[in-house]
Each structure stands twice: as structure tokens, then as C-alpha cells.
Chain A
Amino acid sequence: AQSVAQPEDQVNVAEGNPLTVKCTYSVSGNPYLFWYVQYPNRGLQFLLKYITGDNLVKGSYGFEAEFNKSQTSFHLKKPSALVSDSALYFCAVRDSHQAGTALIFGKGTTLSVSS
């Protein structure tokens, strides 16, 4: 069965410092991996995805993520955090063997950036 783990409920970082939000996954086939961000009382906004190819994926708002097949990880990173990055971040996965577009989500990680 597919699953996603976000081991940290909350990540705290000072503005200007690099940030990392961790994600690990489990699928039977090849993983298709996604990151979304959710601001209070809003829906999910797409940040980036990994389907195939380069392990370093660049996305919106300066975020990037690194796919590591041996560690089954897809950590979200940003070189310099902004206070406005404070939000709830979700990692999600699909299995290449599955039909359709259903996503399996992690529990989410709250990012808090202090000024």
C-alpha cells in the first residue's frame, strides 16, 4: 500500500535561514511525488512535483525538492526562508502502477518562520 510520512509536525526557522521539510514515501511502483502548501482557511496550492528525470526539482516561490530513491525521500527545501512562507505543507504521492489521479497525503508539517 502507498504511504507518505512527514516525521515533523512543526518546523521552526528564522527568516533568512535555509529550511527543510522532510517527507518519506512507500510505493510498490515508481513514485510520483508532489508538494502542496496550505494557508489558513484556503485550499492547497501546488508547489512542485517529481515524475522522472533530474532529482532536484525547482518549483514555485523559490522552493525546491530533492528526490532520493535509495532513501525513499523527497524533502522540500528553500535556501532563505521568508516570514510569508509560514504555512502548512503537505507531501503527497501516487504510484506509477495506479490508475487515475488520487493522491495519498502525509499528515502535514507546519512551518513557522520567525522574523
Chain B
Amino acid sequence: KAGVTQTPRYLIKTRGQQVTLSCSPISGHRSVSWYQQTPGQGLQFLFEYFSETQRNKGNFPGRFSGRQFSNSRSEMNVSTLELGDSALYLCASSGLASQSTETQYFGPGTRLLVL
């Protein structure tokens, strides 16, 4: 079974631009979560989508948004990029019911550099 895929893998943007990252979950998985990883803050939860609905949201500004499509693929968007948005963005998918006992499986990440 194919794992979680993320595109693009690397991205360079300038301040003020916006960016869209894509995530395809493991086949059959319906829950997709996004995390931001930085050296200073570590791994932080951004949001979770299940059945096209945002289920949970972390403590990030409104510039960070996401959505999920009917095939469970997800995108996240960051508008008005800031230097501090430079990070590895990780997508994770988990099973059928978005239950708290489920294991999340992570993709390879998209490394975003904001100049």
C-alpha cells in the first residue's frame, strides 16, 4: 500500500507571497492532519480534516488554512508568507473514523523556505 505523499517536496517563496501544499493520504484513510516542524518550536499541530470537515485546529494565525476533498486529499494554504513560516510541513493520515486511538502515518514533508 502506498504511503502518504506530499507535493512539492521543496519550495522557495518570498515574503508576502502565498503557497499551497498538497497531501494524498494512504488509500482508505479519511483523516488528514497537518503539522509544522521548526528547530525552535518543534512539531506543532496545525489542523485536522475528516470527511471534508475541519475537526480540530491548532494555535496558528488565520493565514494558515486548509481543506479536504471528497477523495480525502488535502491541501493547506499559507497566505502573506513571513520569514518565520520557513519550516518542514508534515501531513499525516489515519484510518476510517478519526478516533483518538488511531495511528497517524506521516508523509515525507514539504520543506518551505521563505526569503
Contacts and interface: CB of A to CB of B under 8 A. Distances in A.
A90 B106 contact: no
Given A34-B104, A94-B100, A102-B56, 18 more contacts: A32-B100, A36-B106, A43-B4, A43-B107, A44-B92, A46-B104, A92-B43, A98-B100, A100-B31, A100-B55, A101-B33, A101-B48, A101-B100, A103-B33, A103-B43, A105-B35, A108-B42, A108-B43
A75 interface: no
A46 B100 CA distance: 16
Interface in B35-51: 35, 42-45, 48, 50
> Which are the 4 A-B pairs with shortest beta-carbon distances?
A105-B43, A43-B106, A44-B106, A100-B56
Interface in A27-47: 32, 34, 36, 41-46
A43 B104 CA distance: 12
A87 interface: no
Given A42-B108, A90-B43, A100 B90 contact: no
Interface of B: 4, 31, 33, 35, 42-45, 48, 50, 55-56, 58, 90, 92, 94, 98-109, 111
A49 B103 contact: yes
Nearest to B56: A100
A107 B42 contact: yes
B104 A101 contact: yes
A101 B106 contact: no
A99 B100 contact: yes
Contacts of A99: 55-56, 98, 100
Contacts of A102: 33, 45, 48, 56, 58
| Size class of the contact patch on chain A | 20 to 34
Nearest to B100: A94
A55 interface: no
Contacts of B56: 99-100, 102
A43 B48 contact: no
Given A101-B98, A102-B56, A103-B104, A43 B45 contact: no
